[in-house]
Every structure is written in structure tokens, then in C-alpha cells.
Amino acid sequence: MSTASRLPGIVTTDHFFLVPLDHQAPDGEQIEVYAREVVAAGREGDELPWLLFLQGGPGGKANRPLGRDGWLVRALDDYRVLLLDQRGTGRSTPATRQTLGRRGGARQQADYLAHFRADSIVRDAELIRRRVLGADGRWSLLGQSFGGFCTLTYLSLAPEGLREAFVTGGLAGLRSSADDVYRAAYPRVARKNAAHYARYPQDVAVVRGIAAHLAEAPARLPDGGLLTVRAFQGLGLMLGSGTGSHALHHLLAEAWVEGVDGPELSDTFLAGVQAQLSFARGPLYAVLHESIYGQRSVDVAGTGWAAERVRAEFPEFDAGSALAEDRPVLFTGEMIYPWLFETDPALQPLRETAQLLAERTDWPDLYDSERLAANQVPVLAAVYHDDMYVDTADSLETGRAVRGLRAWVTNEWEHDGLWASGGQVLDHLIKMARGEL
């Protein structure tokens, strides 16, 4: 049953769809996928084109609007929006440490999660499109970050379902292995570190002090997780957003209090760190992260913890050496490491499952280069200059490989430009699609 709600400026309707766990076995096990329809208040009965939104991740649920906010300010001028909780996330059939145990052991869990990549997400979307719009109906698509990766898969598998596609910060390298991705990522992250320390030079000493303390005595986070030096370096994930450097600085500024036995890390700081580092709200992000790059024609040996392996090629990220040599301690970025499944309580029960996925070598290809080269769907993409999360060179190469794709390269926004711009980024892409720019 669909349930409608009214919020400031919008009307939302809940939808639940049964889809096959394995689209190659449509009569087999079914799982539930949730989507929230959003339309401008007063336009509920209007015949509006549909815009499907695929969020970033992997493993992140769609945004929960509190009204006509964020990029919806612009989207709802023209569209009826469908916010999809990709399989395993949000109100769709969940895949977490609490639910995956029902699948059986690690092998059964890994086999189950192998059906949670972009190809399955796209096939879910196509099934939903046919149910909502009919077999001949087409909708527009907005893919943010990983959602852009899914958009490229959609254009490869089922372009006939699309009127147009908008991509923000999500043009993946079509033939980039996981090793390629991280080999390009570490230098970008180093540049973001340099920019942060140039903006807040006082943080060099603060970060070194925290790292030295954690090297002697790792701290317990409020949820029982272990804050090691390597885990602390993971706060660099914040540096890829428009306000992330400032937020990180404010977090570091409250790191210390004077306790009974002298200086100690404050509860305020530890709670803030946990909010940034815990995967309790999105465990699939960690479990499936490297698998989004897995393609058997590219990664013959599988992804195999590529971020950890490639990190050894960049010794500047070694905190111990930085402390010994009186250098700034560098934060890392969007990297998932095997030891996270030992330090994070939300991931600990999934350690063996994640290992099996890392060892998997038979990931189907996600992109059809020939079909993309013959693409007929208008594709408009925002490419953020020196995006910390998605390599700009990869994005531009992919832009050239997809027939008819128009890329807008900008340094006005960081990776979160879709959200931070209040609709300006989406407006720019829509104007490009309409021939106004």
C-alpha cells in the first residue's frame, strides 16, 4: 500500500516493489526495494516527466527530504522525482550485520551480496520503470557519484528506458582497475591534505599530537570501536566535500581536555570521530566498496584489497614515518582497508564475508564500451576539477567514450556540489540539456 505525506512544499508517496534477488533467475528469491516519490505541492495531479535519482555510495540510502530542499528545489520545477533506496539500503530489504547472519555463513553471505552491485541496481530500476510508467515509458536519470557509475551501467544495459541522463561527480573509468583507481587517488588525497594544512597550519601540530598519542594507546570510541592511528587517518574522507576541511578543523580543535591524569582525548572529539568513521549506518559501503570497480575483463585477479596494496607505493601516508621524520601526518580518503573489519563493531561480523568478496575473480563487466560509443541518450555531466573521490582524467576519458555526452568541468564546487549548490549544479545541467548553455 502506498502512503502519502505532506511536508513543506512537497508531497511524498512511499512505494515498495518486489524484485528478484538474481535477475537471471526471475522466479527465484525476491527482495523488497523501497522508493519515495516526491512532487511539488499542488502538482500531484499534473502529468510530469519522472526523474529517477541514484545516490552515491555504494550502500547509501536515498536522501530524506524535509521539504523542498537541496537539489529538489530545482528538480521539482520540471519533474516528479523518485528517490530509490538501492537494494540493501534504507527501507529496502536491509543487508547489515544484523540481517546477513540469517543467510548462513560467510560464503552464503558473500554469494548473496554479489547481487548488490550496479548491474542489479539498474535491473531493479528497469523493473520499477515498467511497473510505474509502462513498458514504453521513459524517465530521466540523475546519478550522483556512485549513482553516476550506475548511470553508465544503465546506458550500457537498458538505454531504451531513458529520456536523458544527468551525472554529477560520477563518470567512472570504463577500463580502470581497482589498482588504477587507488594509484590515481592517493596523490589527489595528498593534495587535499596540503590544502588543508595551508588553510589551517595549526592543525599540523594537533594532528601529530593525536597520532602520537594513539600510537602509544589506541582509544575506545563510544560504540566500542578502536581508534588507532590508521583509523584516525580515515578522517581524510571529509576533505573531499566543500566544507569538509573546515569541519575537520573544528573537530580537531576540540580534541583535548585536561583530565585527572593530564591531557586526554575528549568525549566530544571521540563522539565526533565515531560519527565520521563508523559504518553502522551504511555497512555495505565498506563491504562492497572495491567490488564496484570489479570487472573480470579488467581485474582478472579480482580487487583483492587494492587500496591497502597500493598504499604501500605512497610512503608519505605512513604515520609512523611522518612522526619520526617530523613531517605532517597525512589523512587518507575514500579507501577501505581490511583492518577496518577488526576495529569497527558494525563490520566485525562481516570480516570473512568481505574477504571472500575481495577474493572474487568472476565479477561481470559493468560497462559496454561499444554500446556507449553508439549512445543515443542525451548525457550531461558535471565533472569537478580535482575531485578527491573520482579521478578527473578518468571522467574526461569516459566523457569522450560516450557518444553525445557533454561534460561541464568546474572548480566552483567539490564532489558534493549537487547538494551544496542548492540546485545550481542541476540547473546548469538541465539548461545544457535544453540547449540554453
pLDDT at 3: 82
Residue 220 has pLDDT above 70, yes or no: yes
Contact 178, 306 (CB under 8 A): yes
Pairing verdict, β 50-54 and 219-220: unpaired
User: CA–CA separation, 423 vs 69, rounded Å?
Assistant: 9
pLDDT at 145: 97
| Backbone torsion region of residue 341, taken as left when φ is above 0, otherwise alpha when ψ lies between -120 and 50, otherwise beta | alpha
Segment 318-329 mean pLDDT: 97
Give 1's pLDDT tier (boundaries 50, 70, 90). low
- DSSP secondary-structure letter at 80? E
- In three-state secondary structure terms, 52 is strand
User: CA–CA separation, 273 vs 252, rounded Å?
Assistant: 9
> In terms of Cα–Cα distance, which of 190, 154, 187 is closest to 172?
154
Contact 284, 58 (CB under 8 A): yes
Residue 284 has pLDDT above 90, yes or no: yes
Reply yes or no on whether 415 is catalytic: yes
> In terms of Cα–Cα distance, which of 126, 26, 19, 22 is closest to 82?
126
pLDDT at 416: 97
Pairing verdict, β 80-85 and 30-40: antiparallel
> In terms of Cα–Cα distance, which of 209, 219, 323, 341 is closest to 272?
219
Residue 149 has pLDDT above 70, yes or no: yes
Fold held by 3-174+367-433: Rossmann fold (3.40.50)
46, 261, 326, 362: the active-site residue:
362
Q: Please name every residue paired with 144 in a beta bridge, in sequence order, or none if there are none.
A: 168
Give 5's pLDDT tier (boundaries 50, 70, 90). very high
CA dihedral 235, 151, 169, 383 (to 10 degrees): 160
Residue 2 has pLDDT above 80, yes or no: no
Residue 345 has pLDDT above 90, yes or no: yes
Residue 326 has pLDDT above 80, yes or no: yes
Give 309's pLDDT tier (boundaries 50, 70, 90). very high
pLDDT at 299: 87
The average confidence (pLDDT) of the chain is 97
Give 173's pLDDT tier (boundaries 50, 70, 90). very high
pLDDT at 289: 97
Q: Which three cell numbers stand for residue 59?
A: 550502500
92, 120, 140, 145: the active-site residue:
145
Which sequence spans correspond to the domains of the chain? 3-174+367-433, 178-359
pLDDT at 306: 97
Segment 307-320 mean pLDDT: 98
Q: For the segment 238-269, what is each residue's pLDDT rounded down to a tens digit?
A: 999 999 999 999 999 999 999 999 999 999 99
pLDDT at 123: 98
Q: Please name every residue paired with 257 in a beta bridge, in sequence order, or none if there are none.
A: 264
Contact 144, 170 (CB under 8 A): yes
Reply yes or no on whether 145 is catalytic: yes
Of the chain, the percentage scoring pLDDT greater than 90 comes to 98
196, 289, 415, 428: the active-site residue:
415
Residue 48 has pLDDT above 70, yes or no: yes
DSSP strands (E only) in 121-183: 139-144, 162-168
Q: For the segment 122-136, what is each residue's pLDDT rounded down to a tens digit?
A: 999 999 999 999 999
